[in-house]
């Protein structure tokens, strides 16, 4: 196991003891060139604590950022024996006899899907809980009673199915499934967590998108966003010894096929938010043009920004006579890591510059417009709001049809365009399907599970984002050579003084 703290958290984690691993499947992980960073991120825990080193097979003490870049294997990773370490997290590689040649990283990674079943709520009093969970990852819904009175069932299988009945379970869920995604982000890969489900199924609760400063800064925050921030800033604290790190936050909402910047201070736009376009860079990166990207140096700063964004979100929603459940909210963190010149010699050239993006997405309610009883303007609004989800379904279909990918209709909606990398592209992606256990939601729950099981068949192509522009690379190498030159001169002077 990578490290002591992580091992302890994992060993006691019932979610991890029941089969399918949470991270990469065996042998699927990236090869040896990320093990330096992996040895650090192995130490991340859901608490945001980092322990580098400490256990028998620890990555940190023996192989951490001490220039040796050894192995940070998973459960079965063979420390120091070379070859790839695979196991529960299926990561790592190298070690004492590991390959010293740096291979470009390119690995296939399937979209992981977890179904989260929330408890019955007060307004569902009298409803029957119809969800049956069969560990490790199976869930069954009964078929609706048919004419002859016999009952059959709809079975589904996911990477995990969890009843989130307490903050503890929520924390375990995070450690088992979300943490590996955040680790990928720290390692220089793009990553996405997105929550899908009908309104009221627990998407916002799970993602923690509407968290306020208090939630973000709580010692034990709940929700994917606040927890991830805690983990990230712990990582940054340690990794800053080796890298200069810039973290930027962006918060946008897609409503009625318009992209609105929730961090913009501009109030002139319609509804007090500026509408933005989506563009693609020459390297294929899709981004929101002109969206505020704010440099953030602490959790406090991000908390302030999220507060600001959420206030704007609810104000805009009020003006538009809509509810936040009818828009998609996307928090995007971008992290640039550039090896300090003083550490550059200890770091393989492929790991000296890393640029990664983490999308945390709280989708609009997936119920069909006709089920909401909307009419007139509201109906047409609903149609274009659901256009994103409908096109998301079409993208998932196109990606999983089995035949060679022909056309994937990413451009048909703002949502699919923005999530182009997350589904079928360059991203480690976790799809969280949120469902209510109540019998009255049978049809919507069934729709969600069907949608989610299609998403599970998507294969992404993960690629380490480690390329500087030729000009930047040249500048970096020039500074490095200068430093080596000056070290060399100092050594020569010292040798001359000793008279050798």
Q: What are the binding residues for ATP?
A: 197-204
Q: Which is nearer to ligand ADP, 204 or 242 (CB)?
A: 204
Within residues 268-307, the interface with ligand ADP by CB under 6 A covers none
Stretch that binds Mg ion, among 164-172, 201-209, 286-294, 460-468 (CB under 5 A): 201-209
Q: Which is nearer to Mg ion, 72 or 331 (CB)?
A: 331
Q: Which is nearer to Mg ion, 204 or 228 (CB)?
A: 204
Residue 437 engages ligand ADP in binding (rule: CB under 6 A): no
Residue 326 engages ligand ADP in binding (rule: CB under 6 A): no
Residue 199 engages ligand ADP in binding (rule: CB under 6 A): yes
Question: 304 CB contacts (<8 Å, ≥6 apart)?
Answer: 213
Cα distance between residue 57 and residue 71, in whole Å? 9
Determine if the peptide bond prior to 136 is cis (ω within 30°). Answer: yes
| 119 contact choice in ligand ADP, Mg ion, none (CB below 5 to 8 Å, kind-dependent) | ligand ADP
**Nearest distance in Å: CB 316, Mg ion:** 15
| Binds Mg ion by CB under 5 A, chosen from 41, 79, 170, 204 | 204
Q: Which is nearer to ligand ADP, 172 or 421 (CB)?
A: 172
Which segments are annotated as binding site?
197-204
- 369: three-class secondary structure by DSSP: helix
DSSP code at position 177: I
Beta bridge partners of 161: 115
Q: What is the DSSP string of 17-29?
A: SSSS-SSSPTT-S
**Nearest distance in Å: CB 365, ligand ADP:** 6
Residue 201 engages Mg ion in binding (rule: CB under 5 A): no
**Nearest distance in Å: CB 329, Mg ion:** 8
Residue 171 engages ligand ADP in binding (rule: CB under 6 A): no
CA of residue 54 relative to chain centroid, distance: 27
**Nearest CA among 499, 389, 411, 500 for reference residue 455:** 389
**Nearest distance in Å: CB 121, ligand ADP:** 5
Stretch that binds ligand ADP, among 75-83, 113-121, 183-191, 347-355 (CB under 6 A): 113-121
The pair of structure tokens assigned to 51 is 């322990």
| 227 contact choice in ligand ADP, Mg ion, none (CB below 5 to 8 Å, kind-dependent) | none
With CB atoms as reference, the residue minimizing the distance to ligand ADP is 202
Cα distance between residue 448 and residue 454, in whole Å? 10
Stretch that binds ligand ADP, among 97-105, 179-187, 193-201, 311-319 (CB under 6 A): 193-201
Radius of gyration of the chain (CA): 24
The pair of structure tokens assigned to 335 is 């992290």
Q: Taking the CB of residue 365, how many other CB atoms lie within 10 A of it?
A: 24
The total number of residues written for the chain in this structure = 500
Q: How many chain residues touch ligand ADP (CB under 6 A)?
A: 15
Cα distance between residue 266 and residue 389, in whole Å? 29
Within residues 346-375, the interface with ligand ADP by CB under 6 A covers 365
* CB of 331 closer than 8 Å to CB of 194: no
Cα distance between residue 120 and residue 77, in whole Å? 41
Q: Which is nearer to ligand ADP, 245 or 252 (CB)?
A: 252
Q: Taking the CB of residue 47, how many other CB atoms lie within 10 A of it?
A: 17
Residue 164 engages ligand ADP in binding (rule: CB under 6 A): yes
Q: Which is nearer to ligand ADP, 110 or 372 (CB)?
A: 372
Cα distance between residue 121 and residue 282, in whole Å? 48
Q: Which residue has the tokens 């001490």?
A: 66
Residue 327 engages Mg ion in binding (rule: CB under 5 A): no
Cα distance between residue 188 and residue 104, in whole Å? 13
Cα distance between residue 482 and residue 157, in whole Å? 57
Residue 325 engages ligand ADP in binding (rule: CB under 6 A): yes
Q: Residue numbers of the site for Mg ion (CB under 5 A)?
A: 203-204, 325
Q: Residue numbers of the site for ligand ADP (CB under 6 A)?
A: 118-119, 121, 164, 197, 199-205, 325, 365, 434
């Amino acid at each position: 196991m990578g490290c002591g703290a992580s091992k302890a958290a994992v060993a006691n984690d019932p979610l991890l003891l029941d089969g399918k691993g949470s991270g990469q499947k065996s042998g699927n992980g990236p090869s040896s060139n990320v093990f330096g960073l992996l040895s650090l991120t192995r130490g991340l825990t859901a608490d945001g604590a980092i322990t580098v080193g400490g256990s028998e097979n620890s990555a940190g003490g023996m192989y951490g950022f001490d220039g040796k870049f050894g192995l940070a294997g998973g459960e079965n990773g063979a420390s120091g024996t070379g070859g790839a370490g695979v196991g529960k997290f299926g990561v790592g590689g190298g070690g004492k006899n590991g390959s010293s040649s740096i291979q470009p990283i390119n690995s296939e990674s399937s979209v992981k899907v977890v179904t989260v079943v929330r408890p019955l709520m007060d307004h569902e009093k009298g409803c029957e809980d119809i969800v049956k969970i069969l560990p490790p990852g199976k869930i069954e819904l009964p078929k609706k009673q048919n004419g002859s009175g016999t009952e059959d069932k709809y079975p589904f299988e996911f990477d995990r199915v969890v009843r989130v009945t307490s903050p503890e379970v929520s924390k375990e869920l995070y450690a088992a499934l979300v943490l590996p995604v955040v680790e990928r982000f720290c390692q220089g890969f793009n990553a996405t967590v997105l929550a899908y489900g009908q309104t009221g199924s627990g998407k916002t609760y799970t993602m923690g998108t509407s968290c306020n400063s208090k939630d973000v800064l709580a010692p034990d925050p709940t929700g994917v966003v606040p927890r991830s921030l805690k983990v990230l800033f712990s990582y940054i604290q340690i990794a800053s010894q080796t890298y200069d790190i810039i973290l930027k936050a962006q918060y946008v909402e897609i409503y009625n096929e318009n992209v609105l910047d929730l961090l913009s201070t501009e109030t002139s736009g319609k509804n007090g938010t500026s509408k933005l376009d989506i563009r693609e860079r020459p390297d294929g990166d899709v981004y929101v043009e002109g969206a505020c990207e704010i440099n953030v140096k602490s959790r406090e700063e991000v908390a302030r920004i999220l507060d600001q964004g959420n206030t704007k979100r609810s104000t805009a929603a009020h003006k538009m006579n809509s509810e936040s459940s009818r828009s998609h909210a996307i928090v995007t963190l971008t992290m640039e890591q550039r090896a300090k010149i003083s550490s550059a010699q200890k770091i393989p050239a492929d790991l000296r510059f890393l640029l990664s993006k983490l999308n945390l997405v709280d989708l609009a309610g997936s119920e069909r417009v006709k089920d909401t009883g909307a009419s007139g303007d509201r109906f047409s609004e609903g149609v274009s709001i659901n256009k994103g989800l409908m096109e998301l379904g079409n993208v998932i279909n196109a990606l999983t049809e089995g035949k060679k990918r022909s056309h994937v209709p990413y451009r048909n909606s703002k949502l699919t365009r923005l999530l182009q990398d997350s589904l079928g592209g360059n991203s480690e992606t976790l799809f969280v399907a949120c469902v209510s256990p109540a019998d009255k939601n049978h049809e919507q729950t069934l729709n969600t599970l069907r949608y989610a099981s299609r998403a599970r068949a998507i294969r992404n192509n993960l690629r380490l984002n480690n390329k500087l522009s030729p000009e930047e690379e040249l500048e970096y190498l020039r500074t490095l050579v200068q430093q080596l030159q000056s070290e060399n001169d100092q050594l020569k002077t010292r040798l001359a003084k000793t008279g050798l």
